[in-house]
């Protein structure tokens, strides 16, 4: 996915609830790239460069861990509030 | 959709923000897509969509001081990336100089060879940068006033004053802490030259 696509996808998935600040996205993407969690490749689209970001092996592992943590957190919250 | 003239206007605007090449092409693509979407979905004309996009990016593209010890002004988005790079450079220099200081305690002659090695690497990087036109003479002069170098000089001054105050010792260069500091400065310079030779913005 490329930068603009990520902002649009986040908006679409959350039905407009999560509106990412465009400018805040790029420093974050570059940080993740430096940490080896994502990698990028540049493709020429309509005569201009477009930078695509992809998860690395390390990033995929991190995703599984983060997802589990988030699910547990949400489960705990729901347990607390259901009581 | 945007045409060539409109894309040139976007490029001119982003160039005025002094972004590095990689960030410029990435943000330009984002601008074009965002403007195209506003034109198609919200039925705006180009100028309205461009203005709206500029407003959305106002905070990130605002020109700010690159560093507390620099007079250069860069876009905030560039500053965030740059400051993180500076922190990485400082961390690497600190870690390597402390590891090498352990070796200096064991092998006393090592400092001379280390100095020669650091000087050699710096000379090679400088020669490479000049031969392959990665650096101009003006950039080399600018390197002397680099915020990280100035910070190191200030630190050196503080260390010297502290040593003189507490130990009343003028021969600061003989102390281990001075040697470690010199290694630290050398590694910082090498990293700055290395990043610059790879065309990664480190404010040179």
Closest CA–CA distance from residue B139 to any residue of chain A (Å):
25
Inter-chain CB proximity A21 and B34 less than 8 Å: no
Name the phi and psi angles at A54, rounded to 5: -130, 150
- Prediction pTM value: 0.76
Q: Three-state SS for B43?
A: coil
Rg (CA), chain A: 16
The model's confidence at residue B10, banded by pLDDT at 50, 70 and 90, is: very high
Mark yes or no for CB contact B80/A27 under 8 Å: yes
Q: Is B67 helix (H, G, I), strand (E, B) or coil?
A: coil
Read off the tokens for B118.
């650091």
* CB burial readout A43-64, b (16+ within 10 A) else e: eeeeeeebbebeeeeebeebee
Collect all residues with Cβ–Cβ distance below 8 Å to A39 and sequence separation of at least 6: A33, A53, A54, A56
pLDDT at B134 over 90: no
Residues of B in contact with A30 (CB under 8 A): 81, 84
More confident residue, B170 or B101: B101
Q: By CB neighbour count within 10 A (0-12 exposed, 13-18 middle, 19+ buried), where does B175 fall?
A: middle
Domains of chain A (ranges; CATH) run 3-82 (1.10.10.10)
B84 touching chain A per CB within 8 A? yes
| pLDDT tens for each residue of A25-83 | 888 898 899 889 999 999 998 888 899 999 999 999 999 999 999 999 999 999 988 76
φ, ψ (nearest 5 deg) of residue B47: -60, -40
- Most B CBs within 10 Å: which of A9, A23, A34, as the mutation test of the B interface? A23
The total number of residues shown for chain B amounts to 204
């Amino acid at each position: 996915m490329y930068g603009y696509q990520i902002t649009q996808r986040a908006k679409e998935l959350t039905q407009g609830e999560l509106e990412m600040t465009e400018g805040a996205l790029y420093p974050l993407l570059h940080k993740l790239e430096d940490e080896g969690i994502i990698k990028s490749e540049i493709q020429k689209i309509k005569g201009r460069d477009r930078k695509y970001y992809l998860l690395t092996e390390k990033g995929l592992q991190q995703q599984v861990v983060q997802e589990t943590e988030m699910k547990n957190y949400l489960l705990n919250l729901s347990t607390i509030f259901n009581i | 959709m945007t045409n060539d003239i409109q894309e040139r206007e976007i490029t001119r605007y982003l160039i005025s923000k002094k972004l590095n090449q990689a960030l410029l092409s990435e943000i330009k693509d984002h601008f074009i897509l965002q403007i195209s979407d506003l034109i198609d979905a919200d039925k705006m004309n180009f100028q309205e969509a461009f203005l709206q996009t500029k407003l959305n990016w106002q905070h990130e593209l605002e020109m700010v001081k690159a560093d507390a010890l620099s007079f250069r002004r860069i876009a905030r988005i560039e500053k965030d990336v740059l400051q993180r790079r500076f922190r990485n450079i400082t961390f690497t220099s600190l870690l390597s100089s402390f590891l090498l200081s352990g070796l200096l305690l064991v092998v006393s002659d090592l400092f001379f060879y280390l100095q020669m090695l650091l000087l050699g690497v710096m000379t090679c990087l400088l020669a490479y940068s000049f031969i392959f036109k990665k650096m101009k003479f003006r950039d080399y002069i600018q390197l002397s006033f680099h915020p990280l170098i100035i910070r190191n000089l200030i630190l050196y001054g503080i260390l010297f004053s502290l040593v003189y105050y507490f130990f009343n010792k003028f021969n600061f260069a003989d102390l281990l802490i001075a040697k470690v500091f010199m290694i630290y400065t050398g590694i910082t310079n090498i990293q700055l030259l290395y990043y610059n030779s790879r065309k990664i913005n480190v404010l040179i």
